[in-house]
A and B are shown apart, each in its own frame.
Chain A
Amino acid sequence: MITAAVEEYLEAIYKMSQDDGPVIAARLAEHMQVSPPTVADMMRRMKEAGLVKMPRKKGVVLTARGEELAEKLVRRHRLWERFLTDVLGFDWDQVHEEACKLEHAISDQVEEKLAEMLGDPETCPHGHPIPGTRGARERMKADRPLSDLCVGDEAVIERVAEEEPKLLQYLASLGLLPEAHVSVKEIAPFKGPLLVQVAGAQYALGQEVASKIIVRTS
């Protein structure tokens, strides 16, 4: 039996792991605003239900089944958000909580009809991809770490893995943020740093930093 609470966890793990791979339990506890023991307990139950696995004890990864369920939930959530803004005329900053409640309530058929009615939208009102649409899959595929680029490549930052919040904030203060346009000017020898240009300024980014910046190339 999958309760609404389990579904919330699935969704959270799904969203967090999109950014930085295995999800650390402590971060999950923070995210869900519960104590770490509560998370540990929940993870044990979800593991027994075959929704998550904990390969190295440190992180939590969704199983194929878990991911399928989570994707479905995120899809329903974002479809509802679309519905609330596009059809009912809510402001896009008001729809999140309503969608949280609605997403657990519907069947596959309702989901299908809802998507059909909205014209199979690719993103939610906040611009996040709706899983299960063709565009979203392609977008996910084009994502790769900045460290994979070559000299002369240009890209747009998609997201920054957030296991190091301080690094994330430091990069943010430099303007290395989602949607920022970057171009690789130079790569130092022997797996050295990348010289990237962002809005008039140039930065040297070490390989390990660059590997945490996920970009999409057009």
Chain B
Amino acid sequence: MPLSCHSALHKFRESTDFTVALAGNPNVGKSSVFNSLTGMGVDTANYPGKTVEVNMATTTLDDTAIGIIDLPGTYALGAVSEDQWVARQGVLDGNPDVVVMVIDATKLARNLYMVIQFLELGYPMVIALNVYDVAQRQGRHIDVKALSKHLGVPIVPTVANRGEGLDELMEMAVAVARERQKPSPQGLVYGKDIELEVATLTNEIASRELEDPYGLPHRALAMLLLEDDPEFIELTSELPGWQPVLEKAAGLRQIIEMEHGQPASSRVAAERHALAGMIASEVETIVTAARPSLGERLWHYTTSPVTGIPILLLTLATIFVLLFFIGETMATAMSQFCSSYIEPPISELLFALLGENVLSQTLLWAAKGVEAALTVGIPYVLVFYLILAVLEDTGYLNSVAFLTDSVMHRFGLHGRAIIPIVAGAGCNVPAIIGTRVLTTQRERLLAGILIVLVPCSARTAVIFGAVAFYAGWQYALLLYGILLVLWVLVGLSLNKIMPGTPSGLVMEMFPFRRPHLKTILRKTWFRFKAFLYLAVPILIVGSVILGGLYNTGWLWELTEPMAPIVEGWMGLPAVAGLTLIMGILRKELALQLLVALAIVEYGSQAQDNLLLLMTKQQLFIFALVTAIYIPCVATITALGRELGWKRSIAIMAFTIALAVLVGGLINQLLTL
């Protein structure tokens, strides 16, 4: 029993008038509903042992405080996969006053499967019939009234990404929650033989007057036991008096299995699908056969082998070019802006207040830190986040996963792993959390290591800010080439070394959606804001510390012990070693502090100030080492949480060794 989250959800319940659980299949627009209801004020509850999160947020409607529990998007409730387990546990522990289930009107039958599961559990429910506009455009006419009558719950057609129908949905949800109005479905009856078994077991439970776990209806418990649900079988086996019921259930499962030649769990699932399909066909009339939309036709090109691979390569090239040109233009503009408008007033102010001494000189480094953030961090990070949001919102990553599945197999992963890996190019932290979509521990460890070796936007900023900006784009491309070769080598050998085999890919594919500008900008902004809030304070503090070391002259003493490796083996100035260590806080800090140092040494007017500190070759090696060695603190923390600290430390040690080895080898090669 996960006590800590149980109590988190319990406390959450007490702080609000009503609680609403938001449920639905993946990609039905559930997060659009959640975001527009709450405006993204999110708390999360983590289930120990299981790592998928339940988000919680509060909102008010007519002076009523409403708590919203956002369950992970799943196809069913069950104990089969982690997300399904969390979705179910979130409802059981959260005991919401109403479940708002978001369903996709274009895939009614499949979505009704989980609706039926909720109805069986007996929670008050309201259904949001989402993407109603697309369903209509496809010529699907859904008799909402008839569907509502069948299921015995209110249904509100919605278009969540445009906010249509959401007010009505919320009003309806509150009305149902106020009454705790139980659903009254009509004709939710399975095949005769299954019903017989369900009835037998329901009566068995009812006749014994047992304690019902979570206060669930007898029929719901009977279904769970017939479905061979490991969680509930264990739970009830610990309660007094359930043993005979469990034995009876085992016998009934055996009968189902013998009669149908398939496990009872699949038989029940099949019955539920049949029921869902039957309801759907009764309420849905397809007026015109859906012509494939433009999105679907374009999508076809991205998954077809002949056109898909060139499109993938073209996309990668476009990302590189956009980063290079837009990033560079912004970086130059920012740099000029800083040297003319930001630094002079701050230094004048500081000198006027404190006079010219070690303290004011040290504090002035804060301004240089901000300048470094503006010139290195923001241009490249912002552009990258924007590109990532577009890729995600159109659904192109789906096609990438499909195309790369067989390649990923060589690395012991399957296609789905490509999504967190690509996300890792934005930021490693959410990418590592994203490895939760992978099923085995082996896959998660492999993906974790490979993600850490993907240059995140901060490292991209270093590569572009140091190599592309000062030495030229060809060198940046070469650097990425080296990283790619390393990445492949590491991936291939890890798959060889580690015991086990990859599991199979099962993933729903969504045709292209028209990207929604507001969603893209919103996503970019929230990510960028998180980056700013986290990065800029660290950068300012780091700059002041480095400034203090510089102005007191301790800097050179501290760098001395590292000199043999940093100077002797990798050919970098010793001070770069120090900024590399500080770069563990944030990767781009390593370069930004060097830039700040160069500004102090040579003045910010000098266009190529960094080149006065380091040669192009040194910058290349510096960026390469930055891209490989030890991930930043946030990533280390995420790794520790997701994979365990032992593995996290092993990964850190491995990346440091790899970085020093490769950096040194290239230096030795270049100086031969």
What string of 1s and 0s marks CB contacts (under 8 Å) between B502-528 and chain A? 011111111100000000000000000
> Interface size on B (CB < 8 Å)?
54
Q: What would 4 more interface pairs be, CB under 8 Å, given A189-B308, A193-B405?
A: A170-B80, A188-B402, A205-B504, A206-B405
How many Å from the CB of A139 to the closest CB on chain B?
14
For A96, what are the chain B residues with a Cβ–Cβ distance below 8 Å? 255, 258-259
For B490, what are the chain A residues with a Cβ–Cβ distance below 8 Å? none
Asked if A173 and B84 make an inter-chain contact with CB atoms under 8 angstroms apart, the answer reads yes
What string of 1s and 0s marks CB contacts (under 8 Å) between B248-278 and chain A? 0010001101111111011001100100010
Asked if A172 and B193 make an inter-chain contact with CB atoms under 8 angstroms apart, the answer reads no
- Which of B76, B257, B266, B403 has the most chain A CB within a 10 Å cutoff? B266
Question: Contacts A169-B266, A195-B509 known; A204 to B504 CB distance under 8 Å?
Answer: no
What string of 1s and 0s marks CB contacts (under 8 Å) between A191-216 and chain B? 11101000111111111110010000
Asked if B193 and A186 make an inter-chain contact with CB atoms under 8 angstroms apart, the answer reads no
Asked if A93 and B193 make an inter-chain contact with CB atoms under 8 angstroms apart, the answer reads yes
For A186, what are the chain B residues with a Cβ–Cβ distance below 8 Å? 300, 303-305, 402
For A15, what are the chain B residues with a Cβ–Cβ distance below 8 Å? 261
Which of B52-60, B106-114, B382-390, B468-476 has 4 or more CB atoms under 8 Å from chain A?
B106-114
How many Å from the CB of A17 to the closest CB on chain B?
12
A167 to B107, CA, bound (A): 22
For A207, what are the chain B residues with a Cβ–Cβ distance below 8 Å? 406, 504
**Can you list 25 A-B contacts (CB < 8 A)?**
A91-B192, A93-B192, A97-B255, A128-B261, A167-B504, A168-B266, A169-B80, A170-B506, A173-B80, A174-B110, A177-B269, A189-B403, A190-B406, A192-B403, A192-B415, A193-B415, A199-B109, A200-B107, A202-B511, A203-B506, A204-B509, A205-B505, A206-B414, A207-B406, A209-B504
Which of B75, B113, B254, B407 interacts with A190 by CB under 8 Å? B407
For A135, what are the chain B residues with a Cβ–Cβ distance below 8 Å? none
- Determine whether A132 belongs to the interface, using a CB cutoff of 8 Å to chain B: no
Asked if B110 and A209 make an inter-chain contact with CB atoms under 8 angstroms apart, the answer reads no
- Determine whether B81 belongs to the interface, using a CB cutoff of 8 Å to chain A: yes
How many Å from the CB of A166 to the closest CB on chain B?
5
Q: Which of B101-155 contact A (CB under 8 A)?
A: 106-107, 109-110, 113
A186 to B255, CA, bound (A): 39
For B308, what are the chain A residues with a Cβ–Cβ distance below 8 Å? 188-189
Which of B106, B273, B309, B415 interacts with A189 by CB under 8 Å? B309
- Determine whether A178 belongs to the interface, using a CB cutoff of 8 Å to chain B: yes
Question: Contacts A195-B303, A202-B509, A204-B415 known; A165 to B75 CB distance under 8 Å?
Answer: no
Asked if B262 and A192 make an inter-chain contact with CB atoms under 8 angstroms apart, the answer reads no
Asked if A177 and B265 make an inter-chain contact with CB atoms under 8 angstroms apart, the answer reads no
A126 to B258, CA, bound (A): 10
Which of B80, B277, B507, B508 interacts with A166 by CB under 8 Å? B80
Asked if A171 and B406 make an inter-chain contact with CB atoms under 8 angstroms apart, the answer reads no
For A97, what are the chain B residues with a Cβ–Cβ distance below 8 Å? 255
**Residue in chain B with minimal CB distance to A162:** B263
- Determine whether B78 belongs to the interface, using a CB cutoff of 8 Å to chain A: yes
- Determine whether B196 belongs to the interface, using a CB cutoff of 8 Å to chain A: yes
What string of 1s and 0s marks CB contacts (under 8 Å) between A147-171 and chain B? 0000000000001101001111111
Which of B110, B255, B269, B414 interacts with A201 by CB under 8 Å? B110
**Residue in chain B with minimal CB distance to A203:** B508
A202 to B196, CA, bound (A): 34
**Residue in chain A with minimal CB distance to B407:** A190
A126 to B191, CA, bound (A): 12
A190 to B511, CA, bound (A): 22
For A203, what are the chain B residues with a Cβ–Cβ distance below 8 Å? 506-509
Q: Which of B65-87 contact A (CB under 8 A)?
A: 75-76, 78, 80-81, 84
- Determine whether B401 belongs to the interface, using a CB cutoff of 8 Å to chain A: yes
What string of 1s and 0s marks CB contacts (under 8 Å) between B330-372 and chain A? 0000000000000000000000000000000000000000000
Asked if B263 and A173 make an inter-chain contact with CB atoms under 8 angstroms apart, the answer reads no
**Residue in chain B with minimal CB distance to A189:** B305
What string of 1s and 0s marks CB contacts (under 8 Å) between A2-40 and chain B? 000000000000010000000000000001010000000
Asked if B504 and A195 make an inter-chain contact with CB atoms under 8 angstroms apart, the answer reads no
Question: Contacts A175-B113, A204-B405 known; A193 to B75 CB distance under 8 Å?
Answer: no
